[in-house]
Amino acid sequence: MGKFTLRFRPYILEMKHVFTVASFSRTTTPIILTELEYDGVVGYGEASMPPYLGESQESVVNFLNKIDLSTFSSPFDTEEILHYINNIQEQNTAAKACIDIALHDLLGKLMEQPFYKIWGLNPNLIPPTSFTIGIDTEEIIRKKVAEAAQFKILKVKLGLDTDKMIINTIRSITDVPLCADVNQGWKNKELALEMTHWLAEHNVVFLEQPMPKEQLDDMAWLTERAPIPTIADEGCQRYGDIIRLKDVYTGINIKLMKCTGMREAKKMVELARALDMKVMLGCMTETSCAISAAAQLAPLVDWADLDGALLINNDVFDGMKISDGECRLPDRPGIGIHPLLPIHDI
């Protein structure tokens, strides 16, 4: 019978390039690094807060300060612990995810197994990860594409009046398959449909969140007519969202920071499969902690977009590696990471 100790501290991720999508640009991402200790064993977690989630370092710290794990005697009471965490306060999905990730890392270390093995998954089935090319000038796009030469699929941010320039610039350099993420940037369904046909002609294999998440009828109309699959991102946050998106999108993009972590993410995969929907596993700008946590699920999905740690200059964990565009999971217990520095020294 042990005792839980929760520690956390803020950290700022520095982007290698200005990161621009249809609605904003940024050069940093605030995160909270978390340690959950039990009987001398430490699990690591992370909350990443891009602007659209509505969370901040302050809100995550306020949430974590409300947590009291003294009533739980074992980390193996996973369902009860995460049910308690989920009910402390509504929303706060990234704050909840950092506890979920740390708990899974802790459990794997106590069982001395990687979590993908605990779930009975084969890491050789992880699809190649995409690498993200943000909205930028023609010159910078060329530079980014050159840097991404190892990747077998690229994810391209669209949603402004530069969409065709971006695709044409990439196509002048490489013919690798593309996935396009519009981040709700298209408002007119007829023009969106026209673009889907143009993108399909340029080997874009699927389209992520083309229209505002509120325009469900327009999205269903577009999905029915589009020559390529449509994937809900901002439009699908948690498990309870999936049922109403059947026939509105072809599939969903699951991110740990949106859905409160690994436990709910796995349940979302299972429900989406039951509904015959495609599944993409994505990420925010994150360290190798959250990326490695998501990668434990990656053998279950159709598409992986797990490049978040490659977009930053100051990762503080060693974890999942990407080689020739393929995700390589370390054979370490838990989520497979170790800190490059003690968290309290960062």
Structure pTM? 0.96
Could you count the other beta carbons within 10 Å of the beta carbon of residue 246? 14
List, run by run, the mean pLDDT of 10-residue segments along the chain (346 residues).
92 91 84 97 96 92 98 96 98 98 98 98 97 94 95 97 97 98 97 98 98 98 98 97 98 98 98 98 97 98 97 96 96 97 77
pLDDT given for residue 243 in this prediction: 98
Helix-strand-coil percent breakdown of the chain, rounded to 5? 40, 25, 40
Residue 258, phi then psi, degrees to nearest 5 = -85, -35
d(C-alpha 238, C-alpha 261), whole Å: 10
Q: Among 133, 107, 132, which residue's Cα sits nearest to residue 119? A: 107
User: Do 46 and 34 touch, CB atoms closer than 8 A?
Assistant: yes
- Buried b / exposed e along 119-132 (16+ C-beta atoms within 10 A): eebebeebbbbbbb
- How many other C-beta atoms are found inside a 10 Å radius of the C-beta of residue 343? 17
Residue written as token pair 């399909």: 200
- Report d(CA 247, CA 50) in Å as an integer: 28
- Indicate the residue type of 16: K
Beta carbons within 10 angstroms of residue 274's beta carbon:
9
pLDDT for residue 1: 67
Q: List, in sequence order, every residue forming a beta bridge with 234; answer none if it has no partner.
A: none
Residue 50: predicted pLDDT? 82
